[in-house]
Amino acid sequence: MKKIPLIIDCDPGHDDAIALLIALASDKFDLKGITTVGGNQTVEKTTANALKILELVGRTDVPVVSGRSNPMMSKLRVAEDVHGASGMDGPVLPEPKTKSLNMRAVDFIAEQVEKSEDPFVLVAVGPFTNIGTFLLAYPHLHHKIEKIHVMGGGVYEGNRSQLAEFNVWNDPESAKVVTDSRIPVHFFGLDVTHKALIRQDEFHLFRQEKGSVFQFVADLLDFYSICYVQERKLEGCPMHDSCAVASLIDPNMFTGYEAFIDVDIEGSKTRGACIVDIRPQERRLGENNGVFYMNVDRLRFLKLIIDSCHKLEQDLRN
Ligand code: BDR
Ligand code: CA
């Protein structure tokens, strides 16, 4: 089986961390690198967190490249209320011994896409600044990208305004570059990610297992649940970013709509909202440019996360 050449652009982040674990455990991917962006915390902190995660699982062979610190047109607004001062509060991990590559994330993405013989897949689970900048700077490489899987948006609700979700809200211009690119975009927004929960009564499935990876996830969940369970009253922690990765491993786990998807960059109340047009084709605002996901087989998804942890623990023992 040919592996999918992949870059994950992220801002770890509790749910980013678990998305990375799933990707690192899977033999479906040829993970070319992890690029980081200012999002949940400053890019310095999200980069350090990515390096810490790779060291924890013994995968420092995967390059980390630090990217843009601020959105294209505005100043970054971090999510300290959700992810804490470090961006990944809760687990206590040593300071990273490894360093990020000394180059720009945007150029790293271009280099990897350019030299790939197979169609490339990008996963973007933070504000879309690196990906938007890459698409603007390297238009001749668009045809080499098969699709982009993103965590972003939400049809029925936002989490930073009534209609805007954090990743899109932080950098709507970059998100619009992505949807305007005509590269197929698979959107995992709040409609589906709020169903992709690890419920609080399932946290013990991680805590009860021996091994640093399971304990790391249990610590992540404990901290992440302060926001989602205690404050927002969900039944558990939404694994937002893992959806964008899990769907590449097991596409049938998710269902959604093919749609014309756009991003509002102007509205005084709707800036950063996603417009998802699923009306009959002849009335849509534009040609379909992707899929907007709405549902997940939650137990299958949970099993994938647990299996991924077992695989990483086993790799660490070998
Ligand atoms: C998104 O925002 C971040 O806080 C999460 O990591 C996720 O990517 C959810 O709105
Ligand atoms: Ca994220």
Predicted TM-score of the model (pTM): 0.98
Q: Please, which residues have CB within 8 angstroms of residue 295's CB and are 6 or more apart in sequence?
A: 192, 195, 254, 255, 256
Per-residue confidence (pLDDT) for residue 167, from 0 to 100: 98
Count structural domains, the chain. 1
Where does the pLDDT of residue 288 fall: very low under 50, low under 70, confident under 90, or very high at 90 and above?
very high
Per-residue confidence (pLDDT) for residue 122, from 0 to 100: 99
- Calculate mean pLDDT across residues 204-217: 98
- Calculate mean pLDDT across residues 225-232: 97
Per-residue confidence (pLDDT) for residue 253, from 0 to 100: 98
Output the six-digit token pair for 236: 């558990």
Which CATH number covers residue 47? 3.90.245.10
Report the atom number in ligand 1 closest to the C-alpha of 11: 6
Q: Is the CB of 100 under 6 A from ligand 1?
A: no
Per the structure, the complete domain to which residue 289 belongs is given by: 4-317
Measured in Å, residue 128 CA sits from the centre of ligand 2 at 10
Q: Please, which residues have CB within 8 angstroms of residue 35's CB and are 6 or more apart in sequence?
A: 7, 8, 9, 10, 64, 65, 66, 67, 105, 108, 109, 130
Phi/psi at 3 (nearest 5 deg)?
-85, 150
Q: Is the CB of 40 under 6 A from ligand 1?
A: yes
Per-residue confidence (pLDDT) for residue 181, from 0 to 100: 98
Is the pLDDT at 1 greater than 90? The verdict is no
Residue nearest to atom 10 of ligand 1 (CA): 166
CA dihedral of residues 265, 153, 63, 305 (deg, nearest 10): 180
Please tell me which residue in 14, 186, 240, 310 is annotated as part of the active site.
240
- The continuous run of DSSP H or E covering 178 comes out as helix 172-180
Is the pLDDT at 84 greater than 90? The verdict is yes
Calculate what percentage of the chain has a pLDDT beyond 70: 100
CA dist., res. 278 & res. 244, Å (int): 21
Q: Is the CB of 13 under 6 A from ligand 1?
A: yes
Measured in Å, residue 282 CA sits from the centre of ligand 1 at 34
- Calculate mean pLDDT across residues 278-283: 95
pLDDT digits (tens, 9 = 90+) for 167-193: 999 999 999 999 999 999 999 999 999
pLDDT digits (tens, 9 = 90+) for 7-66: 999 999 999 999 999 999 999 999 999 999 999 999 999 999 999 999 999 999 999 999
Where does the pLDDT of residue 307 fall: very low under 50, low under 70, confident under 90, or very high at 90 and above?
very high
Q: Is the CB of 228 under 6 A from ligand 1?
A: no
- Calculate mean pLDDT across residues 219-244: 98
- Calculate mean pLDDT across residues 138-154: 98
Calculate what percentage of the chain has a pLDDT beyond 90: 100
Q: What is the mean pLDDT of the chain?
A: 98
Residue 142 falls in the annotated catalytic set: no
